[in-house]
C-alpha cells in the first residue's frame, strides 16, 4: 500500500500532540492527532458505507476554511478518493460546470453558500452529474441534506485504508483561474504531495513549528504550502475561517506562532489593523510572502517595528506549490528576488523560440521535476498545451536570474502589455508606486489605446488619512521609470478587487474600465 493515510501514521507516532486549532469555531476546536484521526476515520467510513464512495470517486466541498475541509481531504486519502475543493467565489452556474465535469458523489458545504448550493442542486437534479449526498456543515441545509455533526457521530472510527493506492493516483483536484472558460482542475497526485513536503521541509520547517494558515483551503497555498507538511512532521496548525488582520495578530501572540504565510496585500492590511502597534510577533521564526512581489518598504517596516524576517516564496498550483524560496538572510541583499529553486525542482528560462537564456535575460520560466501535477482533469488538450516535447512545463511567468542563480519575477506573460511596440511589465511599475509614502495598494493594467495599442492605468488605494493626487503619482513614476512605462492615468480607488487568496484581480479591474 502506498501511504495515503497520513493521519493514521501520525496517530501511531504522536497521538497526544496537538494537531489542529480551528480558530474559526467558537470556542476554538482543539484536536490531538489521535482525536483527529479517529474523527476522520468516522467520516471515511460514512463516505464508504453511506456515500458509496470508492477509490477514484470525487468528493466535493464548498466551504469557508475549517476543520471540515481537512477532514474531507484526509478521509479521501484513506479511501483513495479524490478531494475536490470548489472555489466559493464562483457563480453557481460556474460551479455547475465544474460539477458536470468532475461528477462528485458527495458535496459538503457551509451555510454561507446555501443559496448557490440550492441553485446548483436544482440545476443538476435528475442529470447524469447529480450529486448523491449533500452534507451541510452548519445551519439548516437544503431539503434532504444531512448535518455534518450527525454524519461524524453516526459512523465507526475503525481504521480505513486503500490497499491498492499508488503514488500516481490523484489525491485531489485544485482549480486554476483561467482567462477563458471554466477553471481547469489540476490533478494533484500523492507523489506530488510527498515531493512538495520534502521540498518544504528542506527549506522551511522544523519539528515543533506552529503554523497559522490564512489561505483558502481550495487553493494550493492553503492545502499544501505548509499544512500537509505540518501533518507529516507532526506539528500544530491553526485555521481561521477567513482572513482577519486583527485576529491574525492576536493568534500569533496567543498561540506563539512560529511560521506565518500570506500575500503582500494581507501584510499591508495587518499594518493598518487596530492592534498593530501593540501586537507581539516575537515568536515568529519567519514570515513567508508569495503570490506577488513583496514591496521593499513593507519588508523594512516589519523588520524595524516587529523584528520580523521575511522569506519570499513563489509557487503555483500545478507545481509544488513551493517552487522557489529566498531565505531571510538574503531579504535585503537580494530584495525583490524569489530566491533559488527548491531542491527537487529543475528550472529553465527560455526565449519565444524555446531557446535557453543566460543570466540577466528575461524569458519564460519552465519547470521539470517530481513535484509536478498530472495534468488537468478531463482536459488532455489543456494538459498537452503546457508541456513541450522535452517534458518542460511552461508557466507563463517572465523571469530572469542573476550570476548567483537568484531568480526575479518580471511579470506574468499574460499581464504584460505592449505599448508603442515596447513590452511593459506592470510589476516593475507597481514596485515603484509602492515606494511612494501615500500608496497602500496598487495594480497596473493595460488598456486599449488607438495610438499606442495599449497604455497603462495605475489603480491606487491610498493609506488612511494620507493624500496624493493623480498628477503627483505620475510625476513620481516619471522620476523612476522610462517614459513609455509610465501609466497615462491613475485612478484613486477605495479598494481593489481581491481573490480568496488576497491576490489583486487584474482581470476584474480591466473589465471595469473596458466593459
Query: 3-class SS at 408?
Result: strand
Query: 3-class SS at 399?
Result: strand
The cell for 251 is: 493568534
395 and 268 together in one domain:
yes
Whole-angstrom distance, CA of residue 164 vs CA of residue 403 = 47
Please name the residue ranges forming H helices in 50-113.
Answer: 67-79, 92-102
270 and 378 together in one domain:
yes
412, 444, 471 - which closes a domain: 412
Q: What is the domain range of residue 267?
A: 243-412
55 and 136 together in one domain:
yes
Per-residue pLDDT in tens (0 to 9) along the chain, 515 residues? 478 899 999 999 999 999 999 999 999 999 999 999 999 999 999 999 999 999 999 999 999 999 999 999 999 999 999 999 998 888 888 899 999 999 999 999 999 999 999 999 999 999 999 999 999 999 999 999 999 999 999 999 999 999 999 999 999 999 986 444 578 999 999 999 999 999 988 878 899 999 999 999 998 989 998 999 999 999 999 999 999 999 999 999 999 999 999 988 889 899 999 999 999 999 999 999 887 667 778 888 999 999 999 888 888 889 989 899 988 888 778 877 889 999 999 999 998 888 999 999 999 999 999 999 999 999 999 899 999 989 999 998 889 999 999 999 886 666 778 786 676 878 889 988 999 999 999 999 999 887 777 899 999 999 999 999 999 999 999 988 878 789 999 999 999 998 776 778 887 898 899 86
Residue 440 inside a domain? The answer is yes
69 and 165 together in one domain:
yes
Residue 44 inside a domain? The answer is yes
298 and 352 together in one domain:
yes
38 and 141 together in one domain:
yes
64 and 142 together in one domain:
yes
433 and 368 together in one domain:
no
Whole-angstrom distance, CA of residue 117 vs CA of residue 360 = 50
378 and 401 together in one domain:
yes
The domain spanning residue 64 has which CATH number? 3.40.50.980
Residue 329 inside a domain? The answer is yes
Give me the count of residues in the chain.
515
Residue 202 inside a domain? The answer is no
The domain spanning residue 475 has which CATH number? 3.30.300.30
Number of structural domains in the chain: 3
The cell for 453 is: 495599442
369, 392, 412 - which closes a domain: 412
The domain spanning residue 250 has which CATH number? 3.40.50.12780
Residue 1 inside a domain? The answer is no
344, 378, 412 - which closes a domain: 412
Amino acid at each position: 500500500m502506498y501511504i495515503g493515510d497520513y493521519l493514521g501514521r501520525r496517530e501511531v507516532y504522536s497521538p497526544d500532540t496537538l494537531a489542529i486549532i480551528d480558530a474559526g469555531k467558537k470556542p476554538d476546536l482543539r484536536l490531538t492527532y489521535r482525536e483527529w484521526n479517529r474523527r476522520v476515520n468516522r467520516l471515511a467510513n460514512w463516505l464508504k458505507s453511506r456515500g458509496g464512495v470508492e477509490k477514484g470517486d470525487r468528493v466535493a466541498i464548498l466551504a469557508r476554511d475549517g476543520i471540515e475541509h481537512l477532514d474531507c481531504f484526509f478521509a479521501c486519502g484513506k479511501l483513495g478518493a479524490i478531494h475536490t475543493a470548489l472555489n466559493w467565489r464562483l457563480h453557481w452556474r460556474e460551479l455547475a460546470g465544474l460539477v458536470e465535469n468532475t461528477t462528485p458523489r458527495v458535496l459538503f458545504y457551509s451555510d454561507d453558500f446555501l443559496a448557490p448550493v440550492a441553485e446548483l442542486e436544482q440545476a443538476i437534479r435528475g442529470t447524469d452529474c447529480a450529486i448523491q449526498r449533500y452534507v451541510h456543515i452548519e445551519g439548516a441545509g437544503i431539503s434532504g441534506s444531512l448535518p455534518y455533526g450527525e454524519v461524524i457521530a453516526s459512523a465507526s472510527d475503525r481504521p480505513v485504508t486503500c490497499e491498492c493506492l499508488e503514488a500516481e493516483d490523484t489525491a485531489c483536484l485544485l482549480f486554476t483561474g483561467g482567462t477563458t472558460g471554466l477553471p481547469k482542475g489540476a490533478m494533484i497526485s500523492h507523489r506530488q504531495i510527498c515531493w512538495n513536503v520534502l521540498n518544504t521541509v528542506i527549506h522551511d520547517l522544523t519539528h515543533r513549528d506552529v503554523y497559522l494558515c490564512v489561505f483558502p483551503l481550495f487553493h494550493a497555498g492553503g492545502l499544501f504550502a505548509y499544512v500537509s507538511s505540518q501533518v507529516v512532521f507532526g506539528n500544530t496548525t491553526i485555521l481561521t475561517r477567513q482572513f482577519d488582520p486583527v485576529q491574525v495578530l492576536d493568534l500569533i501572540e496567543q498561540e506563539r506562532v512560529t511560521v506565518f504565510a500570506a500575500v503582500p496585500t494581507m501584510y499591508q492590511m495587518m499594518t493598518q489593523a487596530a492592534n498593530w502597534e501593540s501586537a507581539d510577533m516575537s515568536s515568529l521564526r519567519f514570515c513567508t510572502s508569495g503570490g506577488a512581489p513583496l514591496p521593499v518598504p513593507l519588508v523594512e517596516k516589519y523588520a524595524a517595528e516587529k523584528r520580523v524576517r521575511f522569506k519570499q516564496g513563489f509557487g503555483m498550483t500545478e507545481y509544488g506549490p513551493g517552487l522557489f524560496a529566498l531565505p531571510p538572510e538574503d531579504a535585503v541583499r537580494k530584495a525583490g528576488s524569489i530566491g533559488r529553486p527548491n531542491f527537487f525542482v529543475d528550472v529553465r528560462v527560455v526565449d519565444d523560440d524555446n531557446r535557453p537564456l543566460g543570466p540577466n535575460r528575461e524569458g519564460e520560466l519552465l519547470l521539470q521535476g517530481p513535484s509536478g501535477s498530472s495534468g488537468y482533469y478531463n482536459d488532455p488538450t489543456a494538459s498537452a498545451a503546457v508541456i513541450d516535447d522535452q517534458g518542460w512545463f511552461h508557466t507563463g511567468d517572465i523571469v530572469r536570474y542573476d550570476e548567483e542563480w537568484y531568480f526575479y519575477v518580471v511579470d506574468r506573460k499574460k499581464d504584460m502589455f505592449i505599448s508603442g511596440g515596447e513590452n511593459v511589465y506592470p510589476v516593475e511599475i507597481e514596485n515603484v508606486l509602492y515606494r511612494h509614502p501615500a500608496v497602500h495598494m496598487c495594480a497596473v493594467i493595460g488598456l486599449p489605446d488607438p495610438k499606442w495599442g495599449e497604455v497603462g492605468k495605475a489603480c491606487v488605494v491610498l493609506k488612511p488619512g494620507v493624500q496624493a493626487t493623480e498628477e503627483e503619482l505620475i510625476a513620481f513614476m516619471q522620476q523612476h521609470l522610462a517614459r513609455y512605462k509610465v501609466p497615462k492615468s491613475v485612478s484613486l480607488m477605495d479598494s481593489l478587487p481581491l481573490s480568496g487568496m488576497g491576490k489583486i484581480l487584474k482581470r476584474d479591474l480591466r473589465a471595469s474600465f473596458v466593459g
